[in-house]
Amino acid sequence: MVQEFSEQELIRRDSLAKLRELGIEPYPAPLYPVNATAAQILGGFDPEKGNFQEVCIAGRLMSRRIMGAASFGELQDETGRIQIYVKRDEICPGEDKTMYNTVWKKLLDIGDIVGIKGFAFFTQTGQLSIHAKELTLLSKSLRVLPIVKEMDGQVFDAFTDPELRYRQRYVDLIVNPQVKDVFVKRAQIIATMRQYFNEAGCLEVETPILQSIPGGAAARPFITHHNALDIPLYLRIANELYLKRLIVGGFSGVYEFAKDFRNEGMDKTHNPEFTCMEIYVAYKDYIWMMEFVEKMLCKVATAVNGTTKVKIGENEVDFGGTYRRLPILEAIKEYAGVDVKGMDEAQLRQTCKELNVEVEPSWGKGKLIDAIFGEYAEKNLIQPTFITDYPVEMSPLTKRHREDPTLTERFELFVCGKELANAYSELNDPIDQLERFEEQAALKSKGDDEAMYIDMDFVRALEYGMPPTSGLGMGIDRLTMFMTGQVNIQDVLFFPQMKPEKALKAEKDS
């Protein structure tokens, strides 16, 4: 493959060759003994204490101002930026001034990773800096960074194009340091949830990603092939059925942060690869799970933002307190103005037509009801709201409602018009479960490629007996969007799925 380089990139490659001619390895192997970060020095230096006098720091060179025999620069590490002061006679104490006159002034570039040994001090202008005693090149950068420049209030060369930012996340993280904050908060979200679950006595487990039957959700799977076994395998669409097998096996509570995969469209809230947390607790029901979720999200919001109130777009959402409970059929009546309770499939299709709701011929009662709800109710659910008591046709893995057998003990949590979580009182009647699977198979035969497969091993597990159980699934990517105020799922994924560059270029050229 022949690479094409810009003039600046050719100059950097020439500098690389000259460094090697000088006997300087641009990518040295030895360990570099970093003992401080920019944040530690900026937050902790006290000249009266005389601390940080033997600093060893490493990072990326982000700016440089050469003034004869002395220079200033900015070094950026994971924690931030700090000024460095480089004086010729300090880093070149002998007669040979090559390191300063040639390497520092001519052969190093913005973006190079360097190591600095020296001491912290305040300049005459009061700027906290590191006085370099030793300079080491740790990695030569061969591409030019899109460094932001400001002049007369205008910003130039900002790395803001979403296509480039998501495709070249490594550059985005370098030149837009605030991007890191989202991913630090994402880690805090997961850590807080994990601590909450562990304190509740639940065990973190792992279940298969490659599955012979994709179950636990209504979604189209990715299919692959196992050569040794000569069988098709599916990337999991959910981990629900395996986690419930563990409840059958005797665990009282299990959870998993899982990578799931669904072969579906991509938009601002969907990526084909996503992270989902699922938790199952024996001897609980969906009412208990609502309270469990409220307390968890209160803890998460407080841990990440210091408050239960979060700004999401134009809305301030409060994750504290008790959330509204609204049955789905009541929500449709409230927001669509129709009562669909008791309607058969034909009546639901006619209602969808009257409400201008688009539907597919393969859809059964469950998807028709869901379509009406999605069109009329979802967008109104801004504050956290539990939509409850779904019809049986919409919930093939859920226990029938204790008061109305046409409904199920299920809730979905909605925030800002989007689903955040899905939970059940789990169906543990094996006979009922098999009948529900068979109904799903009938829908699949009609052309619904998102209908569930029949998993006879799961039915067999239920036949051994599963205690009353409550389960919850929650999208971590979407939760991170809410907790960090992002509106695009690509902003909370380090490496979102993208159209291949060649295909994109061909599309633009055409």
- 66-89 tens-digit pLDDT: 999 999 999 999 999 999 999 999
The pLDDT of 129-155, averaged and rounded, is 84
Residue 151 has pLDDT above 60, yes or no: no
Q: Express each pLDDT in 374-413 by its tens digit.
A: 999 999 999 999 999 999 988 888 999 999 999 999 999 9
Contact 134, 33 (CB under 8 A): no
In Å, the largest CA–CA distance within the chain is 94
Q: What percent of the chain has pLDDT over 90?
A: 83
Exposed, middle or buried: residue 308 (CB in 10 Å: 0-12, 13-18, 19+)? Answer: middle
pLDDT at 319: 98
Residue 149 has pLDDT above 70, yes or no: no
Contact 146, 168 (CB under 8 A): no
Q: Express each pLDDT in 229-250 by its tens digit.
A: 999 999 999 999 999 999 999 9
The pLDDT of 120-132, averaged and rounded, is 96
pLDDT at 254: 98
The pLDDT of 208-220, averaged and rounded, is 90
What is the band of 159 on the pLDDT scale with cuts at 50, 70, 90? confident
CA atoms within 13 A on the CB side of 424: 23
- Between 207 and 362, name the one with better pLDDT: 207
pLDDT at 431: 96
> Could you tell me the domains of the chain?
7-145 (2.40.50.140), 179-323+383-509 (3.30.930.10)
Strand pairing category for 385-388 and 324-327? parallel
Q: Which residue has the tokens 């009061």?
A: 126
pLDDT at 17: 97
Task: Report the mean per-residue pLDDT for the chain.
Answer: 93
| Alpha-carbon gap, residue 187 to 185, rounded angstroms | 5
The pLDDT of 7-27, averaged and rounded, is 96
Residue 496 has pLDDT above 70, yes or no: yes
The pLDDT of 109-123, averaged and rounded, is 97
Q: Any idea which of 274-278, 430-434, 504-508 has the lowest mean pLDDT?
A: 504-508
| Alpha-carbon gap, residue 299 to 280, rounded angstroms | 19
pTM score, whole prediction: 0.90
Residue 325 has pLDDT above 90, yes or no: yes
Question: How far, rounded to the nearest angstrom, does the alpha carbon of residue 18 sit from its chain's CA centroid?
Answer: 42
The pLDDT of 304-324, averaged and rounded, is 95
pLDDT at 251: 98
Strand (E) or helix (H) holding 373: helix 365-376
Give the tokens for residue 505. 């270029």
pLDDT at 3: 84
Residue 152 has pLDDT above 90, yes or no: no
